[in-house]
Amino acid sequence: MLTLQMFRFFHFLLICTILSLPSLSQEIQNKDTADINDVIGRILKKTPKPEGKKSGMALLPAIGYNPSMGFILGANVTASMYAGDPETTRLSTGTATVFFTTKGIINLQFRHNLFTSGDDWIFQGNFQASKMIVIDYGLGTSAQGRSKEGISVMGYPLDNPGTSYPIKFGLFRLNEKVYRQVNKSLFIGGGINIDYHRNILDEKLQLDSGIYTPHYLYSRQKGINPDHYFANGLMFNIQYNTKEHGNRSYGGMYADLVLRSNQKFLGSTLNALQLITEFRKYWSLSARNPEHVLAFWHLGTFALSGDVPYLDLPGTGTDLYNRSGRGYTIGRFKGPSYAYFETEYRFPISRNKLFSGVVFVNLQTASDGGKIDLFDRMEPAAGGGLRVLFNKKSRTNICIDYAFGRYGSNGLFFGLNEVF
């Protein structure tokens, strides 16, 4: 079991590693950077093509198994490009995710972060149409799931613990934010969010036998139908962005502040006001090898008034790309208010930058709307991973991470591009 004392030890170890970096910065001058395309080209003895405009595309197959989902087959595709002069325009990115399973689970999703020429406008969005399942543990942190848990892959457990509550549902989601540039680094805008959960099935709910689930009890307490509900809202956004690169930044900062108001006149089942925060900071620790990076990530959703439906509550892995909370399953901890913190050290392994690595620690906390307040209980996790440079033009990495948390929870995670 990973305790808070062990978490502090990992933080201490991370700091000690960073303090040793002056010697690392004296490494022999690296050879030219190489990616997977270069390696394949050398094997096939092909002449490298001119780099031209910095852009690229990458595909990562998704294969797995979960007892509630069955065998999983799908793929993630990412694309990066500059819509204008790279000197004045930030990198635009898009990710498409498609997978289906032998038990009828299907997910179609497209997420984008697009900058127009000169960064005049930013369009950030998430479209999703799915028939999904989540393995639920109830509200808050610590109280649920003290029994031993097993390994998970991509945030889904290979064996559902007896203390969990599988929930199947249909989902339609449309989230679109538009920002207008105020100056080089500051953007202001607004957006709309539509979340529709339908045909919600609590697999362990047995009303005739008096067996209730956290989802059912919460829904009845808030006076909403546990079979379906909407969370529709308007958003006001402020963003500050000095990141050095869109996919894999060696320096800079990113801060995003969103005030979201769910309103019944927009079709929302409940009225609610939420403050959503995100902050990222990157420090390059070596002038000679800028890939030595210390990175920090914060996510927060804070309930200001009203309530949101159960499956719209913020929690583990509910960020845009479902990559927070490595060490636990998606939705492991959740609540009306939720906060997440992560520190990661990134470092090159091979001289040609084809291979690199990361070590990380994270903390998350959630309220339960009653006895447990935010920051009353903190849930730590830690791990490490390997990075393989897929496309050096867009700095796209293939990511393989292993992480472990409390209650025996541990998992293997794959992805394209850095986690944050």
3-state secondary structure of 388: strand
Residue type, 267: G
* One-character DSSP codes across 60-119: EEEEEEETTTEEEEEEEEEEEE-SS-TTTSPPEEEEEEEEEETTS-EEEEEEEEEE-GGG
Residues 6 or more apart whose CB falls under 8 angstroms from that of 361 comprise: 7, 10, 11, 14, 342, 343, 380, 381, 382
3-state secondary structure of 286: coil
13: left (phi over 0), alpha (psi -120 to 50) or beta: alpha
- CA distance linking residue 227 with residue 222, whole number of Å: 13
The predicted pLDDT at position 311 comes to 97
Q: Which residue has the tokens 């697009």?
A: 114
- Architecture of 4-416 per CATH? Beta Barrel (2.40)
- CA distance linking residue 367 with residue 307, whole number of Å: 13
- CA torsion 329→335→337→339, rounded to 10°? -20
The predicted pLDDT at position 35 comes to 81
- CA distance linking residue 144 with residue 213, whole number of Å: 12
- CA distance linking residue 272 with residue 230, whole number of Å: 12
The predicted pLDDT at position 164 comes to 86
SS3 labels along 325-384: CCCCCCCCCECCCEEEEEEEEEEECCCCCCEEEEEEEEEEEECCCCCCCCCCCCEEEEEE
**Distances in whole angstroms, Cα of residue 97 to Cα of each of 63, 89, 101:** 13, 26, 14
The predicted pLDDT at position 30 comes to 42
Task: Tally helices (H) and strands (E) across the chain.
Answer: 4, 18
Pair of tokens at residue 144: 């649920």
Instruction: Please compute, for residue 243, the number of CA atoms within 13 A of its CA located in the half-sphere on the CB side.
Output: 21
**Which tens digit of pLDDT belongs to each residue from 71-117?**
889 998 888 899 999 989 999 999 999 999 998 899 999 999 999 99
Per-residue pLDDT in tens (0 to 9) along the chain, 420 residues = 444 544 554 554 455 444 444 434 333 344 468 887 777 777 876 665 555 555 677 888 888 777 777 888 999 888 889 999 998 999 999 999 999 999 889 999 999 999 999 999 999 999 999 999 998 999 998 655 455 677 787 777 777 777 889 999 999 999 999 999 999 999 999 999 999 999 999 999 999 988 999 999 999 999 999 999 999 999 999 999 999 998 899 999 999 999 999 999 999 999 999 999 999 999 999 988 999 999 999 999 999 999 999 999 999 999 999 999 999 999 999 999 999 999 999 999 998 889 999 999 999 999 998 888 899 999 999 999 999 998 888 888 999 999 999 988 899 998 888 999
CB atoms within 10 A of CB 71: 12
pTM > 0.75: yes or no: yes
The predicted pLDDT at position 408 comes to 87
Pair of tokens at residue 372: 């447990």
- CA distance linking residue 187 with residue 180, whole number of Å: 5
* Contact call for residues 2 and 406 (beta carbons, < 8 A): yes
* Contact call for residues 121 and 134 (beta carbons, < 8 A): no
Radius of gyration of the chain (CA): 22
- CA distance linking residue 277 with residue 296, whole number of Å: 14
The predicted pLDDT at position 383 comes to 97
Question: C-alpha angle 374/378/383, rounded to 5°?
Answer: 140
Going by C-alpha positions, the residue among 405, 355, 358, 397 that lies closest to residue 380 is 405
**Which tens digit of pLDDT belongs to each residue from 328-350?**
999 999 999 999 999 999 999 99
The predicted pLDDT at position 51 comes to 52
